[in-house]
A and B are shown apart, each in its own frame.
Chain A
Amino acid sequence: MTIPEGTAVDISGLRLDLALNLLNQAGWTMPADVSPQSAEWLQALLDGLCEVSSRDALTGLANRRQFEVAISREIDRVARSGEPALLLVLDIDHFKKINDTYGHAAGDLVIQSVARTLQDCVRPMDTVARVGGEEFAIILPNCAPAFGQTVAERVRKKVENQAVALVGGQALRVTVSAGGAFAPQWVRSSAALWTERADQQLYRAKREGRNRTCLEMPVLTSVSNEEKELLFGALGQSDAFPVAEMTSGSNGAVPKTAP
């Protein structure tokens, strides 16, 4: 969207009190050094609204909307740069039980504490988002597959070791389960597909007993003997030809021949 140059808006005619109230409530302070109702002041107001609408109110993390923006940007970047990126989805274990036992206020404290822990153990370039009630996601750009498990485990252990201080001095230990998937490096994935793959791993971590991390292994392109046997049933000559092994990652180096 482009705004024609020289468009004049009479700020005094705009109803800005609701926006200002919202920002106030969110703890956003307007800069003191710009005169109210000036263009700079209006820009600061808009910046504040953008910031507030991309943050989760409870934790201050990126919210779901901001997460969608970040993941789309990352997919675009991976397809172009070929740098691997990891998506981790995390879920607080037995959160319902925490809520039921200690109350919703304690549940909120747990969510805030886990959010802080997650934010503390990632790099500045990573995006940590709260994508649902007790569900978080971390986008880690330029993360090599060899380090994926280490990174995920570091996050899990940090949460496990960080007790949550409840009102009244009680300390509560919580754990998370995490699932992870890498964006395919040379292909343009979709946000839905990538998230789905990470979610599958999260379900696996939950199934396998919680407080653990599961990462999708790189896809193998090999074809097993069982598969080969089934393939050649139609030909009835499974032993007549040697079967070539498919190797991924080769440069397609076949001799140039006229077809």
Chain B
Amino acid sequence: MTATMTEPEVSPATPSVRLARTLAVTSGKGGVGKTFFSANVAAALSRQGLRVLVLDADLGLANLDVVLNLYPKITLHDVFTGKAQLDEAILPAPGGFSVLLAGSGLVEYSRLTPEVREQLLGIIATVAPKYDVLLLDTGAGISDVVLFALSLAHEVIVVATPEPTSMTDAYATVKVLASQQGREHLHMVVNQVARAGEGRIICQQLQQVIERFVLTPSGVAPKLNFLGDIPLDSSVREAVQRRTLLMELHPGSSAAQCVVQIATRLNSRR
């Protein structure tokens, strides 16, 4: 597998400032394993030879630190307040990728002020030339901070679970992204499935409803690109409880294999 850089698929922002392929991970509903997915797919992408940076864009309620069991002294908070340089806040994560953690104390940034906008734009512009993939792990919900973070990404990955609440929120997220950002293509990952194949059915179901009710401003119904599903097995539970990456703890598990497959699909697109 060769490392590939792709051109932006949807580019609402000025493309000249971003060189890494920027992917944002979002879910609508919280607690669907979005951050678990971000961290493990980052590890899988790094193993495929890509330089990956995961940015904790869940300002205010970040939990990438919890997933990775990393509690650095210097975080995005210190960069925002000018106490530290950006490169001091970027650290290596166990899976071979880099992370930029929000850190606690960023609750004051959970509102989208011009300052937060400037900071995020500046940070992305600075790190983009140094990585192949930039993964933005956004917060739950469709708040203005989340929508802004998503608008900075070339591609968006929507993570859902087979629960009705999660599906509704994933659907609402797709709706907003289509109507407000004109997104015609969105990646979809279904987490915590009981059996293989369940994710594809859910994705098809969402697609059907989207085709009836959702349009971009130019009159196109957005297309979901199903990347894969991840079963909720004992290996996942163990990794989450131990606060380690599934890709490190049980790389041979079926859930880990599913993550690898998703990374491969992402990597082979365009």
Interface status of A65 (Cβ within 8 A of chain B): no
User: How many positions in chain A have a CB within 8 Å of any CB in the partner chain?
Assistant: 49
Is there an interface contact between B175 and A196, defined as CB atoms closer than 8 Å? no
CA distance A242 to B167 in the complex (A): 12
A179-211 contacts to B, CB under 8 A, are: 184-190, 193, 196-197, 200
Q: Which of B11, B29, B144, B147 has the most CB of A within 10 A?
A: B144
Residue from the list A232, A233, A250 in contact with B141, Cβ < 8 A? A250
Q: Given A82-B112, A221-B172, A246-B169, are A231 and B121 neighbors across the interface (CB < 8 Å)?
A: no
Q: Is the interface of A mostly helix, strand, loop or mixed?
A: loop
Q: Given A249-B143, A252-B143, A257-B31, are A219 and B212 neighbors across the interface (CB < 8 Å)?
A: no
A209-225 contacts to B, CB under 8 A, are: 219, 221-224
Is there an interface contact between A259 and B67, defined as CB atoms closer than 8 Å? yes
Interface status of A80 (Cβ within 8 A of chain B): yes
Q: Given A230-B208, A230-B212, A252-B141, are A196 and B164 neighbors across the interface (CB < 8 Å)?
A: no
Quote the shortest CB–CB distance from A87 to chain B (angstroms): 12
Q: Is the interface of B mostly helix, strand, loop or mixed?
A: helix
User: How many positions in chain B have a CB within 8 Å of any CB in the partner chain?
Assistant: 68
CA distance A37 to B52 in the complex (A): 57
Contacts of B212 in A (CB 8 A): 227, 230
Interface status of B171 (Cβ within 8 A of chain A): yes
Which residue of chain B lies nearest to A181 when distances are taken between CB atoms in the complex?
B217
How many contacting A-B pairs (Cβ < 8 A)?
Answer: 162
B15-45 contacts to A, CB under 8 A, are: 28-36
Interface flags for B49-79 (1: CB within 8 Å of A; 0: not) read: 0000000001011010011000000000000
Contacts of B180 in A (CB 8 A): 184, 187, 219
Interface status of B201 (Cβ within 8 A of chain A): yes
CA distance A197 to B219 in the complex (A): 10
Is there an interface contact between A250 and B143, defined as CB atoms closer than 8 Å? yes
CA distance A232 to B209 in the complex (A): 10
Interface status of A234 (Cβ within 8 A of chain B): yes
Interface flags for B127-159 (1: CB within 8 Å of A; 0: not) read: 000000000000111111111101110000000
CA distance A184 to B179 in the complex (A): 10
List 10 additional A-B contacts (Cβ < 8 Å) besides A187-B12, A231-B171, A235-B167: A187-B181, A189-B182, A223-B171, A227-B213, A230-B208, A250-B141, A254-B30, A254-B140, A258-B66, A259-B35
Chain A residues in the interface with B (C-beta under 8 A): 76, 79-82, 184-190, 193, 196-197, 200, 219, 221-224, 227-228, 230-235, 237-238, 240-244, 246-254, 256-259
